[in-house]
Structure formats: structure tokens, C-alpha cells
Chains A and B, each alone.
Chain A
């Protein structure tokens, strides 16, 4: 009985951690990072639950890190205009990993949603400990941010 309880208790946690690691590995942010490294990082990530229509953050809020959708979906809005709807496995808010100053859009959970927060603080600790992987991650982050900027510029050009 005791063995059954503990094995279930831990296997559930491990399964969840593996799922989080699997989702992150599919993102461009962790391209070229070994799975073992990511598993260590995932242990320090923070799982939060949001109810339907609950605001995750507002435009202008200070951001602490990037967010991965583990379950549910999220609507990204700016000035009452819907920019994107993100689903399980997508990530957003990665600008906060580079600069924690301001969130650039509103993010609202559209269903019961579970989110994983990867905080800038944990990233910095990791970069200090593992600079060679940190350099790969920061290069990936720069590429992701550049791509998003390019997309935003194209959108602006189309509007004009």
C-alpha cells in the first residue's frame, strides 16, 4: 500500500516534469540544449493554474519570465485587438527573459489553463553555472525575439 502510494505520487510528478521538458524541447528556445540540462531546469520551474477569462498579465506590467502552456489556451491582446490564440505547447512572454521592464500585450486564459513559468532569475543562475549551454540558449532567445520583431514589422507594413 505504502509503495503504491509513493510510486504514484512521484511518478505523477515525474510524468508532468517530462511533459514540460518535452514541450520546451520542441520550442526554438531550447534548440541544441541537452535533455539532461533541461530536466534540471524544469525542476525549478513554477506551475500555476488560471481559471477561464482570468488575466495572466496586462500590457505594461513588469514581467518575471517566459510562460509555457501546459494545458488550456491563452488569448494575446493589445489595445482590445486579438493578436493570437496560443494552445498547449506554445510559449509567450519570452521578452521578459531579456528585459523585465514591461509586458508588451495582455494575456488572458480562455479556458481552465495550466501554465509553467520559466523565470529570468532561474535562467541567470543556469547561465552562470553552465555558460556554454547558456550561450546557446541566449542565441536562441535573440533569434526568437528577432523573428517576432520581423513579424511585427511586416504586420505594420501591411496595415500601412
Chain B
């Protein structure tokens, strides 16, 4: 009896795996086909998730559906223009400041590395010139930067088209996504109809909680670190704060990169104050403590229940295949795949148990 149960479970597991792989392959094919407009689609979907409750509310208050969508989008566009008009000039000013400081920062880092190399040579008797390694790294990253800038300017038209596409896509998603989704779900056979909706419901609600949580988390982190950097007197606090907030979207690795960036900026400040280096790190670490003890439990806890090793592996693999978009999408994609697999398995196992029970009753 026990052996039969084990056999049944392993058979269900194998069958679930086959169905799961087929669905994932279809999703990846769609992902590949849509890759040229993937970023505007993701942004539009996020805006759809954010704005749907507002438009639904207006519709229930007897406002025309299309009018409600246009109204909400116009308000959003106005707010975005105001915010960009306020933030962009400051960010550009700070970028210019960083550009003027950059040669000084490089020289300073080079000097520190030369000193460090000398100490290592004196202590261990090993010939090591870290400044040379640094110079070659800088030249490589400069050429990479140039390639990115040239590539970006080449793609400027497609970027502009993507930016223009976002409001249109959001409009049509708000207007027709629901009926399109319902029509697609109606294509499911009767036997899978409820299971299909359940999986959709679980994935979408988890992704909604996750997206909302992550955006709030990034915003809070940006505000805390901007205030912290301004209070301790580090230059370009707004730019550094915004960067720290955005880097917080990348788990584990993001905070480390933001510490490195803040340290580089402190190193370039004249006169150089070593205490600022520790205070800068303290600001980021404090932000992380608030993030882990207050923000995550309040907004993201239970949104995704994934093992840290799975998260890190996912980020590396997705990052290698899909680049920056992959790094940001890794966690929600793995969480969605996990829900899909567990629900499929539970349904298939249930069906196989029912089938074996019916056939044993027939034999009796």
C-alpha cells in the first residue's frame, strides 16, 4: 500500500514536471517574442496594477469607464512631469558635480592603492602593483561605458518610442485587460477552469503585494539615506540616496554596491575626512536595519517565501540570460513558478489518487 502511494506520488511528480516545463517553455517563448517591448510592457503592467483600484472606484461612482481612465492617466502624467521637473535638474547638477570630482577620486584611489601595495610588498615580500590593476580596470570600464553610451544614443529612437508607448499601453490595459484576460481564461477546458483561475489569482495577488512592497521599500530607503547623507554632510546626497533606493531592488548585492559607491564619493571629497567613510556606511547599515526590521515585515513579508540560496541563484541565472531586467524580475518569476508547480502538483496528485480509488473499487 505504502509502495503504491510512493509510486503514485512519483508518477504525479513526473507528470506535473512535464506540464510545468511545457508552460514555462511557452512563457519563455512569449518573453523572447516580446523582448523588444518588454520594458514598456512591465512598466505598463505595474501602472495597471497601481491604477486599477482608482478607475474601478470612479466607475462604481457612475463615471464613464474611458473617461475615468483618461482622467487618472492625465493626473498621473501631470504628477510625473512635476516630479521630474523638480528632481531631474537636481540629479543632473549632482551628476555634473560628480563628473568634476571624478579625476580627483581616481587619483586618490590610485594613491591609496600604491601605498597599500608598498605595505604588502614590505610585509610579505610579494611584488604587487594594485594601482596598475586599478588603471586597467578603469580603462576597461571606461571603454565599456563609452560602448554603452554610444549604444544608448543609437537606440535613442527606440527608447523614445518605448517611453511614448507606456501611456498608450497603460490606457488599453486599463480599458481592455480584464476582458482580454477573461476571454483567454474562457479558452480553458471545463476541467481546468477553476484551477487556472486559482493559479492566476494566487500568482497575481502575490506579485501585486511584492511589487507594491518593493516600490515602497525602495522609496523609504531612498528617503532615509538621502536624509542621512545630508545630515552627515556627504556631497550629492539626493543622487546617492536615489541610487541606494534603486539598488535596494537587487537583494543582497545591491546594498554592497551602494556602500562602495558612497565610499568612492567620500574618497573624492576635499578635504578627505575618514570619519565620513564610516558615517556613510553607518547611514546605509541603519537604512538596512530599518528595512529588515520594519519595512520588510510590514510590506513584503509572506509576499514571497523563497530560500535565500534559490534567490541568489535565480538572480545570477536570470541576470546572465536577461541582463538588468532579469535581475529585477528574478524573484517574482521564481515565486510565480513555485506557485504554478505546487498547485499543478496538488491537482494532478489529487486526480491520480481519485483515479486509483475508482479503479480499485471497480476491481472489487
Please list the residues of chain A having a beta carbon within 8 angstroms of any beta carbon in chain B. Answer: 37, 40, 44, 46, 48, 50, 54-58, 60-65, 100, 117, 119-121, 125, 128-130
Contacts and interface: CB of A to CB of B under 8 A. Distances in A.
B56 to A, nearest CB: 6
Contact of A61 (B56, B185, B190, B347): B347
A62 B346 contact: yes
Nearest to A50: B190
A128 B191 CA distance: 30
Contacts of B347: 61-62
Nearest to A49: B190
B56 A121 contact: no
Contacts of A100: 198
Contact of B186 (A46, A65, A130): A46
B185 A125 contact: no
Interface of B: 53, 56-57, 59-60, 178, 182, 185-186, 190-191, 193-195, 197-198, 200-201, 204-205, 343, 346-347, 350-351, 354
A62 B201 contact: no
Given A46-B186, A62-B347, A119 B197 contact: yes
Nearest to A102: B350
Most chain A Cβ neighbours within 10 Å, of B53, B56, B60, B197 = B197
A117 to B, nearest CB: 8
Contact of B53 (A54, A63, A129): A129
A62 B343 contact: yes
Contacts, number: 60
A62 B60 contact: no
A56 B190 contact: yes
A125 B56 contact: yes
Contact of A44 (B60, B178, B201, B346): B178
B350 A128 contact: no
Given A60-B354, A64-B201, 7 more contacts: A48-B186, A55-B191, A61-B350, A64-B193, A117-B193, A117-B194, A120-B201
Contacts of A63: 194
B198 A64 contact: yes
Contacts of A128: 53
A44 B60 CA distance: 13
Contacts of A119: 197, 201
A120 to B, nearest CB: 7
Nearest to B57: A129
A33 to B, nearest CB: 13
B190 A60 contact: no
B190 A48 contact: yes
Contact of B185 (A46, A56, A60, A62): A46
Contacts of B201: 64, 119-121
Given A44-B178, A120-B201, A58 B57 contact: no
A107 to B, nearest CB: 11
A37 B56 CA distance: 12
A54 B190 contact: yes
A31 to B, nearest CB: 20
Contacts of B186: 46, 48
A48 B178 CA distance: 17
Nearest first, the 5 closest Cβ-Cβ pairs linking A and B are A64-B194, A121-B201, A64-B197, A64-B198, A60-B350
Contacts of A60: 350, 354
A120 B343 CA distance: 17
Contact of B194 (A44, A54, A62, A125): A62
B190 A58 contact: no
Most chain B Cβ neighbours within 10 Å, of A48, A54, A56, A62 = A62
B203 to A, nearest CB: 11
A149 B231 CA distance: 63
Given A48-B190, A54-B190, A121-B201, A62 B354 contact: no
Contact of A62 (B56, B57, B198): B198
A50 B56 CA distance: 32
A51 to B, nearest CB: 9
A97 B343 CA distance: 18
Most chain A Cβ neighbours within 10 Å, of B191, B198, B347 = B198
A61 B60 contact: no
A44 B59 CA distance: 14
Nearest to B185: A46
B53 A62 contact: no
A14 to B, nearest CB: 16
